[in-house]
Amino acid sequence: DQQVKQNSPSLSVQEGRISILNCDYTNSMFDYFLWYKKYPAEGPTFLISISSIKDKNEDGRFTVFLNKSAKHLSLHIVPSQPGDSAVYFCAASQADSWGKFQFGAGTQVVVTP
């Protein structure tokens, strides 16, 4: 039973444009969310996080939005760069299950010139 879903397995975007990655979750108890970026043959690296007390968190070109009522979060990358081509995972956790993050299946982003 997958509690975190990334329904778009892939996304192609032109360099300089905005990339929007989506993530839906089913567990209303989730209160902490992370995005990770993964290059081939490497482990995922932490990108950005957001807690349920916020609806937006920004870090440079990366912004995460959280819509708790819709159980939806999204990652915006503006502007997209060739180095952003990677797989992006969203992950969610609830306060009383520390250490147990649920991950989505990932979205492969390809940034084209």
Per-residue contact track with other proteins, 34 to 73, x per CB under 8 A?
x-x----xxxxxx--x-x----------------------
**Nearest to residue 82, comparing CAs of 34, 17, 9, 6?**
17
Residue among 18 and 29 whose Cβ is closer to other proteins: 29
Residues 71-100 close enough to bind other proteins by CB under 8 A = 89, 91, 93, 98-100
Give me the least distance between CB of 97 and other proteins, in Å please. Answer: 10
Tokens of 106: 């990932």
- Distance CA(24)–CA(22), nearest Å, equals 7
Phi, psi for 61 (deg, rounded to 5): -80, -5
